[in-house]
Structure 1
């Protein structure tokens, strides 16, 4: 695959945070650029599928579609978590539908090839009459899979570095802020087909410059004066002290966590430990094309049986706070295609790296640019 001319960026792109500009507009709109990202970012990255509670039970499985690939993670009868491409090796038909609890084997609805949950082909009708047919040659194609920081990740690159190395320190930090993270449950899930490039969504997450004008409820709770954004390799942390607010995060003074901690992990998953104990929100991005991203927005709590106060929070988070961001990224995606947009935007990084500084965007764009450079033979790797 040849290097697309539009992927040529200066070697020092976004290295100087104080004088940084965004990626050019066509990086957000070009299908050619997106195809390169599929091969050189997503095919080698640790992609977050779900909270580990979704796969705790024997025979539990979860499917996700990411950059055109249908993927499944399943907990086998032996208790081992495995992941595969969710396609039958015979003719490519989908095997698992949606998510749930499987039988001890999964049968393809097309020709009834049947597989054990460890991926081994158990039955292929009429195979005894087919020359040189060896069932061992037709197991499901595996993926790397890991349970980390309370979540399940997969990687299409079987030679990828371990997630403990790629996201070093994230597990310990998340658990220090949310000690019961492994015990949480999915109390709410909202799925949206978002008409925006995946990087537009990450850009929006990586700064709180927009918080005061666009998120009045959030801003009534989280103190911008104490807000910080720090970089930790392939993940970052946004942190701000919080106060209870009926418009945003409402919590009692007895709770141990009275701060907002927002974690972005490469390339596009966001974990938010919100004020109050044992409560998180998670944004999973599953890119479809240059202009479309499926997003799963989950609220995690200690139990799926929520209290009235917790229900109020879920309602605010899903019906007020979340739509505010969805409207923003949709508008940006449209504006990037306008003749009136000058092609690149100034990244508003202030000298103090304050709570409204956009240095997080520059950090993210530098990492994206490094992947393009790696693809062009200028670096060894982009992670």
Structure 2
């Protein structure tokens, strides 16, 4: 397995070679701080521009106790708002997607234009304190990176998505993200694990030869990992030897040439994980995004969908189906792995574990977590109320 550290500067932190303590994967107070310090300021992917092409089309995303709606206005501009009426706090829309000429609250029919302005209040004269000009929907920061729409609940001065991905822009460019269209719908997968366990596993390369025989058959020993300041990268080039598994062997045989990709990307799988929880799986045949959203200290929700470029070749359709079959098995294996880890985190016999020099992504993640929440440096769980002390 190839690895590349973020830099050559020797670490001086005595915790650099150790994992986060187990208690941070189950503690309610630590979870609450993560919501405030990590998730609210982070950029979260909602959908692709192609998912909301017409005026009034909208998509929503729920996390951190908030519901965010992204809508295309009559001026063709995409905007994000909290999905909350300014009258009594009612949710405006239900579901994950829809289309509306105006946003009308189902409680008292307060009406908002697609640009967020409050335009209608029944019996408005009876509200002596109402200033319609100040009662529009609350805006949420929005960024579009290569066609994908991200939102941010709070700005803490951190980097934009474009800045996070800047080291890899030339690597991503040939895949023509801006032209992608959804293949199917968003899938939601609840998991009985802390959100960090999903991310730890996603960026871990050491478990590939142990727990993923399919990926090992496809990539041999050529799976690599590296860590940048805000992005992890993983990659693997398919070997020429035919796999013993029929799905993998057919994928190897049927995957057709992709004219817009360089020769060295024709049979290359590429993965990026953006801090703290958004991932892009990039294949010659399709691009997937996945994010793991915390629900409680010991549960999370994995949200994922595939995007593709128009290609009617039968070989490409078959390759995309086989890709799904291969990764369905990988996902099942990963689910079993992270469940075992979460269960082990409950044992009093385990606190922290040593990290290999090859676990560059996990080491970097642990450092960022300790920087944001210094209590993560404590090996053992502090007494209740520690976060308010």
TM-score category, normalised to shorter length: 0.7 to 0.9
Q: Do residues 288 (structure 1) and 298 (structure 2) align?
A: no
Query: 1:352 is matched with which residue?
Result: none
Looking at structure 1, the residues matched to 306 and 239 of structure 2 have their Cα atoms a distance apart, in angstroms, of 20
Asked whether the 8 Å contact 1:73–1:83 carries over to 2, the reply is: yes
**What per-residue deviation string (whole Å, max 9, x for no partner) do you get for residues 324-379 of structure 1?**
21222122112101233x21112122xxxxxxx21210011111111114999xxx
Matched-pair contact (CA < 8 Å) for 2:277–2:292: yes
Q: Give how far 1:221 is off.
A: 0.9
Q: In the alignment, which residue of structure 2 is the partner of 1:348?
A: 356
Which structure 2 residues correspond to residues 77-96 of structure 1 after superposition, within 5 A?
77-96=74-93
Shift of 1:152: 0.9
Does the CA contact (< 8 Å) of 1:280 and 1:300 recur in 2? yes
Equivalent residue number for residue 271 of structure 1 = 280
- In the TM superposition, what are the counterparts of 1:217-232 in structure 2 within 5 Å? 217-224=214-221, 226-232=222-228
Q: Could you tell me which runs of 5 or more consecutive residues in structure 2 were left unpaired when the two chains were aligned.
A: 1-10, 378-389
Give the drift of 1:51: 2.7
Indicate the larger mover: 260-269 or 48-57: 48-57
Instruction: Please give the secondary structure, in 2, of the residue aligned with 1:57.
Output: coil
- Of 323, 342, 362, 1:313 maps to 323
On the 8 A contact 1:187/1:304 being kept in 2, the answer is: no
The residue that corresponds to 1:354 in the other structure is: none
Deviation, 1:18, is: 10
Q: Name the TM-score, length of structure 2 as normaliser.
A: 0.82
Q: Give runs of aligned pairs for residues 252-267 of structure 1, distance below 5 A.
A: 252=255, 254-255=257-258, 256=263, 257-267=266-276
Post-superposition Cα deviations, 1:152-178, rounded to whole Å, max 9, x if no partner, equal: 1111124645615641416614533x4
Structure 2 residue aligned with 1:330: 339
C-alpha contact 2:71 2:80 (8 A) present in aligned 1 = yes
SS at the partner of 1:44? coil
Alpha-carbon distance change, 180 to 290 in structure 1, aligned in 2, over 3 angstroms:
same
Give distance in 1, aligned partners of 2:16 and 2:123. Answer: 66
Distance 1:140 1:170 in 2: 36
Residue deviations 1:69-104, cap 9 Å, x none? 111111111111111111112111111222334222
1:30-69 equivalences under 5 Å are 30-69=27-66
TM-aligned CA distance change 1:294 to 1:19, over 3 Å: closer
Q: Which residue of 1 aligns with 2:72?
A: 75
Question: Which position in structure 2 is the counterpart of 1:380?
Answer: none
Does residue 299 of structure 1 match 2:309? no
> Secondary structure, in 3 states, of the residue corresponding to 2:40?
helix
Which of 228, 231, 234 is matched with 1:235 structurally? 231
1:158 and 1:25, CA in 2 relative to 1: closer, same or farther beyond 3 A?
closer
Q: In structure 1, what is the Cα distance between the partners aligned to 2:34 and 2:175?
A: 35
Residue 336 of structure 2 aligns to a residue whose secondary structure is: helix
User: Measured at CA, do residues 159 and 37 of structure 1 come closer, stay the same or move farther in structure 2, by a change above 3 Å?
Assistant: closer
8 Å CA contact retained: 2:247, 2:325: no
Give the number of equivalent residue pairs.
Answer: 350
